Structure 1
């Protein structure tokens, strides 16, 4: 028997909160772009709720803005901002080139015109997440009264610990501090095809390397495990050390030890570990070699 769906279209956060409280937990589904949800529904992996709360009319969730907070420059990205909007944003092209690259590598243009940053993050498996992790993004949640912030990394850790059970807070967007200048940043996606399938692994990194080959402020992240994650131990082993054969060998070993990969229908966990280690070491070596030999230093997002 067919069940009729009711679509709710709030125009602000308070209204959306009141609607979901009126309906009750478990009786509704928040819908952003809906591209990920649609694939779940069509594959019978998730039952469509009888109440769909569309967030597309909430204006404050659709903007990319720049602000000063405690004297530091921040980029604020609304959860309703589409992947296509990210690609076209001058602010992101200037300050977050690796995010722009990640968005370009997701799906087809028709999907990028509809899929949102909020949806990509909320899946806990989106290809943009490693980039947001290296920029230490903070999620902005509406709890019914105020906007509260939470580091993306902490949310992912807590979500996994809670067996991916989400609370009823509404993801409004995220903020990224962009005051520090990096010599390099990168994003790489490895999939079975260029853009139209889920990735096997994704990696992202950023940092500095001076003319003497000394690494500093290196942050690394990878997807292909239970959730995308920072590689904090590897970061610590890389920072304040000069490039050398011994260093790159130790980085490779650290990555294969630290990165928690998962086996799926297309690749084993060990294969994913190897790919991630090869990609990250190759990128770090390339950045070090260019500076060590007096080459180009400002290669962010290349």
Structure 2
């Protein structure tokens, strides 16, 4: 029977948490819900000797609906449980895509422990494609101040910077006559298994059926989630027609380059992602 030998620290604010991380550096890590560490430990991966738990940092569990000028957004503390996000009435009303995505993350017991911040910091979490499609931002502490950045940019640069994620920010959709959204997870087995491919999207159309905004995101397996920005640009200002769908399919295959593993090839993931997007767009044709 393996015994946890690490020492657990419980700071009460982000400055204290940051100072502990700087003190112990590579011999430490931040801990949110701890579900990922538990999984790794069960596989034989050792914990670092110093664990910095964020469970007592109350400011990281707050959820606030704010208005700043013409901008309205929901600020979610990074320590907010996944189950709380899934069931929160404001999220279910205005950002239901996130609630839908969280429902397909792991088992209920894990959602009761896991946090939105932990899912994002992991870098491959199944909530990330939905957050990218929702144009989410993240807030983080860099040792001096709280900064805000687009999630897609942060995912591509965070590995080079030591920061403490403090929250996720969801802006309200821009106005369109008709908005559709989707979240599709293809797994090896049941819904709470690891994903093979995850695809998410938010599409807005005007009264004439012309797309006036679109955000598409893909991920799955050990592939870092990404926005399909070339595909998005192809769709902007267009009405959905068969020729457009063919061009979208080809563009996705050129833009998305997932890696292979022992179960599925990268090509299979590309084709699956492209087929899902085309299926969803076809529902809007005409």
**Fold agreement, TM-score > 0.5:** yes
Superposed, which structure 2 residues align to 1:31-46 within 5 Å?
Answer: 31-44=31-44, 46=45
Residue segments in structure 1 that go unaligned for 5+ positions in a row: 160-164, 293-302
Corresponding residue to 1:265 among 250, 262, 267: 262
Matched, 1:203 2:199: yes
CA RMSD of aligned residues (A): 1.7
Q: Which residue in 1 is equivalent to 2:47?
A: 48
Offset at residue 263 of structure 1 (A): 0.5
Matched, 1:220 2:213: no
Q: Which residue in 2 is equivalent to 1:67?
A: 66
Does the CA contact (< 8 Å) of 1:222 and 1:276 recur in 2?
yes
Q: Secondary structure at the match of 1:68?
A: strand
Does the CA contact (< 8 Å) of 2:135 and 2:215 recur in 1?
no
Superposed, which structure 2 residues align to 1:8-157 within 5 Å?
Answer: 8-23=9-24, 25-44=25-44, 46-157=45-156
1:10-55 Cα shifts (integer Å, max 9, x gaps) = 11111112222232x10111100011121112213x4211111100
1:201-227 Cα shifts (integer Å, max 9, x gaps) = 101111212343311201101003631
Superposed, which structure 2 residues align to 1:210-249 within 5 Å?
Answer: 210-224=206-220, 226-249=223-246
Q: Which residue in 2 is equivalent to 1:170?
A: 164
Change (3 A) 1:66 1:262: same
1:74-123 Cα shifts (integer Å, max 9, x gaps) = 11011101110011111111111110000000111111000111110111
Q: How many aligned positions are there?
A: 282
> Which stretches of structure 1, 4 residues or more, deviate above 3 A after TM superposition?
none
Does the CA contact (< 8 Å) of 2:85 and 2:91 recur in 1?
yes
Offset at residue 166 of structure 1 (A): 5.5
TM-score when scaled to structure 2?
A: 0.94
